[in-house]
A and B are shown apart, each in its own frame.
Chain A
Amino acid sequence: MSAGAIDASGAVGQPRRPTRSRPVALARRRGVSILMVTLTCLAAAVAVVPLVVILVYLLKQGASALSLSFFTSMPKPVGEAGGGMANAIIGTLILIGIASAVGLPVGIGAGLYLAERRGTRLANLVRFLADVLNGLPSIVMGIFAWQFLVRPVGHFSALAGGAAIGAMMIPLVTRTTEEMVRTVPQSLREAALALGYPRWRTSLQIVLRTALGGIVTGVLVAVARVAGETAPLLFTALGNQFWSTKISQPIAALPLQIFTYAISPYEEQHAQAWAGALVLITLVLVISIVARVVTRARLGGGHD
């Protein structure tokens, strides 16, 4: 923020002499250039390979175990083929609901604060800490939630799991809300204030409503991210082999179920794990793609 930092960075960015002083054959320099450009192209191609490979495996392994009953029936006992993850799918939806109830008000509120009090010391600190919080290892959030919400109560619960992943949504929602509120033209705010709107109504009914589309997109991205979180749920939501929708009880979740089945020794459960992963990744990717398409349409495709 200070001018000093900008100067320092600017100094770092001083261009070096782009051409070497000793005479090098132009052909050789061109050759090196072409080779390196090709290598960067190759690097970009290689960077896409893992996603493609993982998706292909998920489709290949998961599709065979996937059927309508996967969504409607309960897990079969060990050793029996078939069955489904109806309880885990409902569980994940419930956990997302709790997470949203925890994360959205805080995230949107904090985002509004950052946008409205932009430039103040507190706003800068909160923005910085939100970014730091965004990098918090999910397992740390898991043991924190256990210590804070499970240990005092004495039992695992969907509520603790939902709160843990809800806390992980906060930094994402905060930053998106801030960015989106900042795109609302100042003139709109001024017009509302000139008409005699109180500040709070201007913020909530004019500014927030204008930015709502973008915020919803950001919320979707946050939901996509926490929907696949496993580590924060290990010691909070715990998982459940039975049908449960009580938020005070342990609850099944898709990522937990995939983890349990993946490390189990039974073939039938491996197949279920692949099917579960296919469902989970479809959920996550569809949300991500929808969010991206909506964002691009909104920003005219130019940005990001």
Chain B
Amino acid sequence: MNATRKLPSIQGSVVADRIYRATILFFALCVPLLLLLIFVEIGRAGWPALRQFGGAFLTSSRWDPVQGEFGAAPAILGTLLTSIIALLIATPLALGGAIFLSEFCPAWLRQPLSFLIDLLAAVPSVVFGLWGVFVLVPLLRGTVMPFLRDTLHLGVTPFFTGPAYGPSVLAASLILAIMVLPYIAAVSREVLMAVPRSQREAALALGATRWETITGAVVPYARTGIFGGIILGLGRALGETMAVTMVIGNRHELSASLFAPGYTMASLIANEFSEATSDLHLSALMAVGFVLFVITLLVNAVARLLVRRVGEVRA
């Protein structure tokens, strides 16, 4: 009696299992579908501009909404330039900090210090921007830029010349450096902590100093993952919007001087999107978004592959 009553319920649960599996499969498929949808929608919206200007869209530096001519070269180069400078500043600090935390830090300090560095990643972009506008930019204008140009005589190079406006490629790069630092530091720290003890012990047993152990045995082992972390930081820097928009000065010219204002792809979109009057202008901005999307997609894919490989070795 009992068994006959159970029977339908088992069949019911088979159906319910199928429904459950189909549901989680559907949600899982939402992730690739979302990416595909973004690719198609933004690509479609940017297509008119890409078709009209072709390769010149990427190479021309003429961005003139009135004449209906759009070349995104200054924004693309500005994006790459600010991101690379940011990485040059952030990487030594992040890597040094990560080495300290994984190798030399007293145990009681490791958790709190790691947490403080991680917290930096939680600060919203717009807050960095606010701080940049009212603290960093005046500091650059009043102190740092004159110091670099005149006191250090770096003004003889083309990179530190011109009037010190404040909002500049330099300001954007510095803000970006602060923003990507926690990402590089966190990945590097994880990767370094995953290096087997035996690696260090072997080096120390051979008579290496503490630093030689790091450069000779620990960092080479973790190289791939650290590189992945830096690329991950690059991905963040390339797409960072609000803080950069607020401090870069937003000008369609690429100057060799870091003191000059500039543009990045993200800040160009943020700045002009709501003012775009013509369909072509809008399409050009969408095309910029498409280029940014494709670049960050590739960068992130590479970063994840590098970091993942390390994770697998550890597992």
Contacts and interface: CB of A to CB of B under 8 A. Distances in A.
| A and B are partners in one complex rather than unrelated chains | yes
B122 interface: yes
Contact of A147 (B14, B28, B123, B286): B286
B151 to A, nearest CB: 22
Given A106-B30, A109-B28, A139-B269, A13 B113 contact: no
Contacts of A204: 20
A137 B96 contact: no
A154 to B, nearest CB: 15
Given A10-B313, A258-B130, A285-B119, 4 more contacts: A12-B224, A51-B120, A228-B125, A288-B122
A9 B310 contact: yes
Chain B contact patch, size range: 35 or more
B304 interface: yes
B117 interface: yes
A42 B96 contact: yes
A262 B242 CA distance: 11
4 A-B pairs closest in CB distance = A137-B239, A228-B124, A109-B27, A43-B96
Interface in A39-56: 39-44, 46-48, 50-51, 53-54
A136 B274 CA distance: 21
Interface in B215-231: 216-217, 220-224
B60 interface: no
Interface in A116-147: 116-117, 122-123, 125-126, 128-144, 146-147
A239 B208 CA distance: 60
B248 to A, nearest CB: 12
Contacts of A131: 300, 304
Interface string B28-50: 11111011011001100100000
A200 B30 contact: no
Interface of B: 10, 13-14, 16-17, 19-21, 23-32, 34-35, 37-38, 41-42, 45, 92-97, 99-101, 103-105, 111, 113, 115-117, 119-120, 122-131, 133-135, 178, 181-182, 185, 199, 202-203, 206-214, 216-217, 220-224, 232, 235-236, 238-242, 246, 266, 269-270, 273-274, 285-286, 289, 292-293, 296-297, 299-301, 303-304, 308-310, 312-313
Q: Which of A6, A13, A48, A53 has the most CB of B within 10 A?
A: A13
Contacts of A132: 35, 297, 300-301, 304
A301 B273 CA distance: 46
A136 B24 contact: no
A135 B232 contact: yes
A18 B293 contact: no
Contacts of A198: 10, 13-14, 16-17
A186 interface: no
B100 A259 contact: no
A297 to B, nearest CB: 13
Interface string A187-210: 000000000001111011000000
A70 interface: no
Given A136-B239, A140-B293, A284-B124, A44 B273 contact: no
B127 A54 contact: yes
Interface stretch (A78-86, A240-248, A272-280): A272-280
A111 to B, nearest CB: 9
Given A44-B113, A133-B31, A281 B127 contact: yes
B4 to A, nearest CB: 16
A58 B300 contact: no
Contact of B285 (A1, A51, A114, A143): A143
B2 to A, nearest CB: 13
A126 B32 contact: yes
A140 B96 contact: no
B312 A137 contact: no
B20 A200 contact: yes
A71 interface: no
Interface in A217-232: 224-225, 227-231
B27 A113 contact: yes
A284 B241 contact: no
A37 interface: yes
Given A51-B120, A288-B119, A230 B38 contact: no
15 contacts: A15-B221, A19-B216, A43-B95, A44-B113, A47-B94, A47-B182, A47-B185, A107-B27, A135-B235, A135-B239, A135-B303, A142-B269, A143-B45, A144-B37, A255-B242
A137 B101 CA distance: 29
A125 B32 contact: yes
Given A135-B303, A147-B45, A19 B266 contact: no
B203 to A, nearest CB: 4
A5 B127 contact: no
A139 B100 CA distance: 35
A273 B128 CA distance: 12
A228 B240 CA distance: 13
B289 A143 contact: yes
Contacts of B182: 47
Contact of A37 (B199, B211, B220, B236): B211
A147 B42 contact: yes
A57 interface: yes
B44 to A, nearest CB: 8
A140 B221 contact: no
A1 B239 CA distance: 29
A58 B130 CA distance: 10
A15 B211 contact: no
B97 A280 contact: no
B27 A106 contact: yes
